[in-house]
């Protein structure tokens, strides 16, 4: 076999005295390590970006639209909806199929969608806003399945959640189970989406939420916290309504992905606590969730993972 001709680099290396090679060897090894580390960093970054790049792509698309800047509207992923249906089934005793049927009821509520779209246009909302309900589908299902007489939501913002809850109450009333919604809101310009027919079963009381709750005397069947998102204020709301909750009442916390206020309140008062985390569909927002606090049924077995 013929000998291979030495490469120019090998020829140059052969001319370098061995003592010089020994001096240069650490620098060469350091350079090789840096090349390896850079290569490894690129590989590891590529692995991580496979998880985050889709959200970054959605950011670019969202930023170009004329849409809401907070309280984002989106659907839940199909799998996430199944998880929520399973949890609500556990909490209410309804089958998962029944819960999913209630979800579809809201999905297909053309009157509610038309109402929100019309009022938003009258109020000159951003032109690309589409009203999708995200975790509010869980609020709707709880109202439909629990048939409450009194629902309170603290903090209503535009009033999308208000309308969703009132839509459920209207259906309950048509089935012989009347109920009423009260929203509390400190901003006078909030809640403008809540007009007829949904205002027929609900109203917004303006002022400090805790002051409003202190003056409220009817037993509360479902309480939804969505006001001042400081942990201390949230906890004070729960303590304020603690003696006003009806037997079997359930509390929904909209800030439970951030604070332990509802969890702490539940455990201090002997209630169960569970949490559902949203997975938004086709939206960059990572999602919030719903905390649920409720009494264990009398004689009921301990529910795994609920803390009660």
The domain limits of the chain are 1-54, 75-294
State residue 283's pLDDT score.
95
Q: Identify the band that residue 299 occupies on the pLDDT scale cut at 50, 70 and 90.
A: very low
Per-residue pLDDT for 170 more than 90? yes
- Indicate the angle between helix axes 78-92 and 96-107, nearest 10 degrees: 120
Q: What is the pLDDT of residues 205-264, one digit of tens each?
A: 999 999 999 999 999 999 999 887 788 999 999 999 999 999 999 999 999 999 999 999
pLDDT band at 298 (very low <50, low <70, confident <90, very high): very low
Query: Who wins on pLDDT, 269 or 5?
Result: 269
Section 3-15 average pLDDT:
55
Domain range 75-294, CATH class: alpha beta
75 Cβ partners below 8 Å, 6+ apart?
A: 132, 133, 134, 280, 281, 282
Measure CA 299 to chain center.
Answer: 32
What's residue 20's pLDDT? 61
pLDDT for residue 33: 73
Region 47-55 average pLDDT: 88
What mean pLDDT value characterizes the chain?
A: 89
- When pLDDT is cut at 50, 70 and 90, the band that residue 18 belongs to is low
Could you tell me the pLDDT band of residue 173, with boundaries at 50, 70 and 90? very high
pLDDT digits (tens, 9 = 90+) for 262-285: 999 999 999 999 999 999 999 999
Q: Number of helices (H) and strands (E), helices first, in the chain?
A: 10, 9
Q: Do residues 71 and 126 make contact, with C-beta atoms less than 8 angstroms apart?
A: no
Separation of alpha carbons 105 and 112, rounded Å: 11
pLDDT at 8: 55
Residue 214 near residue 240, CB atoms below 8 Å = yes
Q: Which has the higher per-residue pLDDT, 3 or 75?
A: 75
């Amino acid at each position: 076999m013929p000998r291979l001709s030495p490469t120019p680099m090998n020829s140059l290396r052969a001319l370098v005295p061995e003592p010089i090679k020994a001096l240069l060897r650490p620098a060469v090894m350091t350079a090789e390590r840096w090349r390896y580390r850079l290569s490894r960093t690129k590989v590891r970054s590529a692995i991580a970006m496979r998880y985050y790049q889709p959200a970054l792509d959605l950011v670019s698309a969202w930023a170009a639209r004329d849409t809401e800047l907070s309280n984002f509207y989106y659907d839940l992923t199909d799998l996430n909806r199944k998880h929520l249906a399973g949890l609500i089934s556990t909490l209410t005793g309804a089958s998962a199929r029944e819960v999913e049927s209630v979800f579809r009821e809201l999905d297909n509520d053309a009157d509610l969608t038309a109402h929100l779209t019309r009022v938003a246009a009258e109020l000159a909302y951003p032109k690309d806003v589409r009203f999708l309900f995200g975790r509010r589908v869980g609020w709707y299902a709880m109202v439909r399945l629990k048939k409450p007489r009194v629902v309170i939501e603290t903090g209503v913002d535009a009033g999308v959640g208000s309308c969703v809850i009132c839509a459920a109450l209207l259906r309950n009333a048509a089935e012989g189970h009347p109920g009423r919604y009260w929203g509390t809101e400190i901003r006078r310009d909030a809640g403008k989406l809540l007009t007829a027919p949904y205002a027929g079963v609900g109203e917004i009381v303006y002022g400090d939420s805790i002051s409003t709750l202190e003056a409220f005397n009817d037993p509360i069947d479902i309480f939804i916290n969505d006001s001042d998102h400081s942990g201390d204020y949230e906890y004070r709301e729960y303590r304020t309504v603690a003696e006003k909750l009806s037997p079997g009442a359930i509390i929904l916390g909209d800030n439970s992905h951030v604070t332990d206020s509802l969890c702490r309140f539940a455990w201090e008062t002997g209630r169960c606590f569970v949490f559902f985390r949203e997975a938004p569909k086709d939206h960059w927002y990572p999602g919030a969730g719903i905390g649920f606090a409720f009494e264990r049924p009398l004689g009921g077995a301990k529910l795994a993972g609920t803390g009660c």
